[in-house]
């Protein structure tokens, strides 16, 4: 399953989430510059369980190096596809969690989840000398928080199936539940160690995200952070809106609601509307005129249901202005 986007739009710009993505990319560029010293760089800043559990190995590292590696491993990646996959998941799920926690609490939450995933990996791979790197443990924590916060959100998902690539909407709790089950089954498989993937770090991160979410939500938010979140607040609604219009009785006309911001209502805007009809999608561009108000009805001729003998009905969109 390849997620394309979710249906929950964040109310503020994900400043920290974007900064984390940028930092991961920057560190990856540093990795590329290491050349022949890359393996040594990975072994120094990656997470190697034996460094903490085997005295003969731990003596080769300073206390500072041991502490730094517990955090630095989550910013290293083993290749471009590894980086791309992790950052894509972070991009899709991170903005909404940052929206709920606020910028600074989200950053602390991300780091704590990454640390918890690393500790989980050490605990279950006690004497391993293989470096573990990647942001997937911390991102798993973000996904765990999303699982609690937005279980009924929809995740637009690409499902590769032989030569077919259907795109469907899957409830977030189903998508993330399947993802977690796959991690658990992979971790329990006999070939888990051979694959070289830190499955238990993913599981530990996801569970820690669920556990730590309430703790971080209970932490007080400072006036300075609230001010920053207000500055980062978005003044537009989603450029692409997925709607599920309904009909009354057996009529050909369809009815649904679209959302615009106060600024868009005042100055007008253009939206890409996607009508979800099972596996079929109808997409069109909607020009919303300036000066509309709450409750305005927009009539789109010929965009309703096709009734044999009666032609196609209209689509009526009721405007909802978000304050």
CATH code, 222 = 1.20.1540.10
DSSP string, 15-29: HHHHHHHHHHHHHHH
- 20 and 118 share one domain: yes
> Residues 84-109, buried b or exposed e (16+ Cβ, 10 A)?
ebbbebbbbbbbbbbbbbbbbbbbeb
Residue 192 has pLDDT above 60, yes or no: no
Span 169-191, average pLDDT: 85
What pLDDT is attached to residue 109?
Answer: 97
Of 88-92, 156-160, 257-261, 307-311, the least confident: 307-311
- 157 and 248 share one domain: no
Instruction: Out of 32-46, 189-203, 225-239, 280-294, give the one with best mean pLDDT.
Output: 32-46
- 264 and 130 share one domain: no
CATH code, 272 = 2.60.260.20
Model confidence band, residue 191 (pLDDT cutoffs 50, 70, 90):
low
- 205 and 257 share one domain: no
**Residue 285 and residue 275 in contact, taking contact as beta carbons nearer than 8 Å:** no
Domain boundary among 231, 249, 283: 231
* pTM for the full predicted model: 0.80
- 189 and 54 share one domain: yes
Model confidence band, residue 196 (pLDDT cutoffs 50, 70, 90):
low
- 225 and 259 share one domain: no
- 254 and 295 share one domain: yes
- 189 and 316 share one domain: no
Span 106-120, average pLDDT: 95
Domain coverage including residue 246 = 240-322
Model confidence band, residue 179 (pLDDT cutoffs 50, 70, 90):
very high
- 223 and 262 share one domain: no
Stated as kind and residue range, the H or E segment containing 96 is helix 80-101
Residue 318 has pLDDT above 80, yes or no: yes
d(CA 267, CA 290): 5
Collapsed DSSP state (helix, strand, coil) of residue 130: coil
What pLDDT is attached to residue 124?
Answer: 86
- 125 and 88 share one domain: yes
Domain boundary among 185, 208, 231: 231
- 18 and 93 share one domain: yes
In degrees to the nearest 10, what's the CA dihedral of 157, 158, 164, 168?
Answer: 20
Span 28-56, average pLDDT: 92
What domain count does the chain have? 2
What pLDDT is attached to residue 22?
Answer: 97
Domain boundary among 200, 231, 262: 231
Q: 240-277: per-residue pLDDT in tens?
A: 777 888 888 778 888 999 888 888 888 888 888 878 66
Model confidence band, residue 168 (pLDDT cutoffs 50, 70, 90):
confident
- 61 and 156 share one domain: yes
What pLDDT is attached to residue 281?
Answer: 65
């Amino acid at each position: 399953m390849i997620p394309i986007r979710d249906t929950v739009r964040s109310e503020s710009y994900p400043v920290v989430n974007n900064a984390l993505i940028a930092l991961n990319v920057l560190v990856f560029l540093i990795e590329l510059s290491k050349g022949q010293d890359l393996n040594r760089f990975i072994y120094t800043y990656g997470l190697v369980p034996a460094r903490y559990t085997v005295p003969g190995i731990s003596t080769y590292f300073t206390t500072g190096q041991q502490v730094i590696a517990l955090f630095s491993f989550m910013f290293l990646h083993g290749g471009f596809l590894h980086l791309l996959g992790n950052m894509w998941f972070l991009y899709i799920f991170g903005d909404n969690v940052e929206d709920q926690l606020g910028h600074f609490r989200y950053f602390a939450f991300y780091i704590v989840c990454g640390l918890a995933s690393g500790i989980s990996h050490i605990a279950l791979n006690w004497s391993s000398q293989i470096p573990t790197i990647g942001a997937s443990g911390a991102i798993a924590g973000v996904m765990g928080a999303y699982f609690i916060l937005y279980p009924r959100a929809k995740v637009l998902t690409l499902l590769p199936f032989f030569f077919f690539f259907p795109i469907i909407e899957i409830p977030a709790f189903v998508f993330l539940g399947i993802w977690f089950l796959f991690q658990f089954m992979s971790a329990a498989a006999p070939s888990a160690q051979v694959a070289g993937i830190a499955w238990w770090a993913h599981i530990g991160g996801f569970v820690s995200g669920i556990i730590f979410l309430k703790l971080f939500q209970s932490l007080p938010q400072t006036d300075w952070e609230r001010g920053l979140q207000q500055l980062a607040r978005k003044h537009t609604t989603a450029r692409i809106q997925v709607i599920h219009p309904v009909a009354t009785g057996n009529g050909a006309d369809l009815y649904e609601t679209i959302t615009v911001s106060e600024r868009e209502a005042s100055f007008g805007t253009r939206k890409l509307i996607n009508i979800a009809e099972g596996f079929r999608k109808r997409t069109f561009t909607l020009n919303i005129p300036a000066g509309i108000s709450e409750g305005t009805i927009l009539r789109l001729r010929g965009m309703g249901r096709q009734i044999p003998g009666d032609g196609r009905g209209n689509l009526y969109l009721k405007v909802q202005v978000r304050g």
